[in-house]
Structure 1
Amino acid sequence: MNGLAEPISDQGAEGLEMASRAKRGSRAGARRWVRRIVMTALALALVPVVLTVLYAPSFVHPVSTLMLKDLATFSGYERRWVSLDDVAPVLANSVIMSEDGQFCFHHGIDLGELRGVVDDALAGEATRGASTITMQTVKNLFLWSRPLASLRKLAELPLAVYFDAVLSKRRILEIYLNIAEWGPGIYGIEAAAQYHFGVSAKNLTRRQAALLAVTLPNPYERNPAKPGPGLRRLAHLIERRAAKSGGYVGCLQ
């Protein structure tokens, strides 16, 4: 050895070339997977965008993700679609006053409520719900309930704004009332009215409407047909609010 590097043998050079090719192939494979993931995410994001437009006509009767889950698991469900014209106005008013008093005035998101939630979170206090009827509708139609609730909430915001921009308030409420869950396997206001009170949605009384409205946040634990003292108090409050709803429900006229 005279201090000079020995020349690389043909076999060694071939090995280096193969290693280099493998490295380049690995990088190319990683890029392909990233592209596939991005394209899949974009395709999934386009689904609600397209479906929202398709859901605009009144003759289209959308189903929720929970209804699809019940079908997939062979659980079955009860749902009878009714137009908003065939729902007692007091029921629509009660749901708005219970779930989203600013429904007729916001554009899918109640910014005042949302700011309150952010302020509470920054202050380390327990946060309250800020979901609008529009947000609940897009969640029921396109998203999931659990897990990753925080991620779902982020997805709800732009979807709710878009949904509100494309559909009328009446159509949004009509869809919501027909896909909301009012008990295990009981979807929509017509099935709920028949199941809990034995009447059609059009013939609900003020008291029945209020009880159904306050059941929505937790239909598995709250039974409008057999309300406890707490549920009766809530229903009484919503019954009074619905009677004075006036301009709060003007977008339904």
Structure 2
Amino acid sequence: MFKFLKKLILVIIIANILFIALGIFFNPPITWTQLGGIIKYGKLERDYISYDDMGNNVKKAVIASEDQLFFTHNGFDTKAIEKALKHNEKKGEIRRGGSTISQQTAKNVFLWQGRSWFRKGLEVVYTFIIEKVWGKDVILARYLNSIEMGQGVFGVEAASNYYFGKSAKDLTKSEAAWIAVVLPNPKKYDPKNPTPYLRKKHNWVMRQMNNIVLK
């Protein structure tokens, strides 16, 4: 039994190393979240595209909405994490994560959805590694290709076609902002039928996009 466990651990380690190395060049064949989308909605709308084919508007919109310090932090936003920890201590459970785009990429590419401390710990490890191995452009590309952006809809290209009938590179500033604002809860929010809160967030993201400089 002990020998079997040792071999299993070794296989898992080697598989992870290969997955991380290949991730520099390729998008994930499928993720746990995407599998969940297939099971729940009976579909997987996804179209991987290159970083250059995404266009600048959607990159700026998502960074403005999710992680404005993306290009300057080391994968972790310490101030956001401190706020999240204080909030979670009051609630007695994990309700906020303070997650950066790098952390969300680690979660969506390698892990599963959930709020356990164990998954959060793995997320920290993967985030540290991809920051060192992949770099910012690859992380952002994998994030924008794999993130859930609607019910069974994954990635900016599929979302652009689903919501606006066009490619991501052709999105206007306003359209890109609409896609970005659904990210906190893509199963609930809908740019085609926005709530007052979503309209307010959209206007805020539009303003913040003016401050984003792509590297």
Please tell me the TM-score bracket, short chain as reference. 0.7 to 0.9
Is residue 200 of structure 2 the alignment partner of residue 233 of structure 1? yes
Measured in 2, the distance between the counterparts of 1:208 and 1:227 equals 13
Is residue 105 of structure 2 the alignment partner of residue 133 of structure 1? no
- The answer for the alignment partner of 1:61 in structure 2 is 27
Closer, same or farther in 2 for the Cα pair 1:69/1:229, shift >3 Å? Answer: closer
Measured in 1, the distance between the counterparts of 2:40 and 2:178 equals 30
Closer, same or farther in 2 for the Cα pair 1:227/1:165, shift >3 Å? Answer: same
> Deviation digits for residues 66-95 of structure 1, max 9, x if unmatched?
224456789331111111211221210110
- The answer for the alignment partner of 2:141 in structure 1 is 174
Give the conservation status (yes or no) of the 8 Å contact 2:41–2:151.
no
1:115 alignment partner, one of 82, 101, 105: 82
1:182 alignment partner, SS class = strand
Q: Aligned AA for 1:216?
A: L
Is residue 157 of structure 2 the alignment partner of residue 190 of structure 1? yes
Computed over aligned residues only, the root mean square deviation of the Cα atoms, in angstroms, reads 2.3
Structure 2 segments unaligned to the other structure (5+ residues):
none
Closer, same or farther in 2 for the Cα pair 1:38/1:71, shift >3 Å? Answer: farther
Measured in 2, the distance between the counterparts of 1:73 and 1:215 equals 19
User: TM-score with structure 1 length normalisation?
Assistant: 0.75
Measured in 2, the distance between the counterparts of 1:233 and 1:186 equals 24
Measured in 2, the distance between the counterparts of 1:120 and 1:42 equals 38
- What's the CA shift for 1:242? 0.5
Give the conservation status (yes or no) of the 8 Å contact 2:37–2:151.
no
- The answer for the alignment partner of 1:20 in structure 2 is none
- The answer for the alignment partner of 2:72 in structure 1 is 105
- The answer for the alignment partner of 2:19 in structure 1 is 51
Sequence identity percentage = 33
- The answer for the alignment partner of 2:110 in structure 1 is 142
> Deviation digits for residues 135-155 of structure 1, max 9, x if unmatched?
111111111113x63211111
Higher RCO (CA 8 Å, separation ≥ 6 residues): 2
Moved more, 220-229 or 112-121: 112-121
2:148 alignment partner, SS class = coil
- The answer for the alignment partner of 2:58 in structure 1 is 91
Q: Aligned AA for 2:102?
A: T
Measured in 1, the distance between the counterparts of 2:79 and 2:16 equals 26
Measured in 1, the distance between the counterparts of 2:36 and 2:182 equals 22
Q: Aligned AA for 1:209?
A: A
Give the conservation status (yes or no) of the 8 Å contact 2:88–2:96.
no
Closer, same or farther in 2 for the Cα pair 1:40/1:194, shift >3 Å? Answer: same
Give the conservation status (yes or no) of the 8 Å contact 1:197–1:225.
no
Between Structure 1 and Structure 2, how many residues are aligned? 212
Q: Aligned AA for 2:109?
A: L
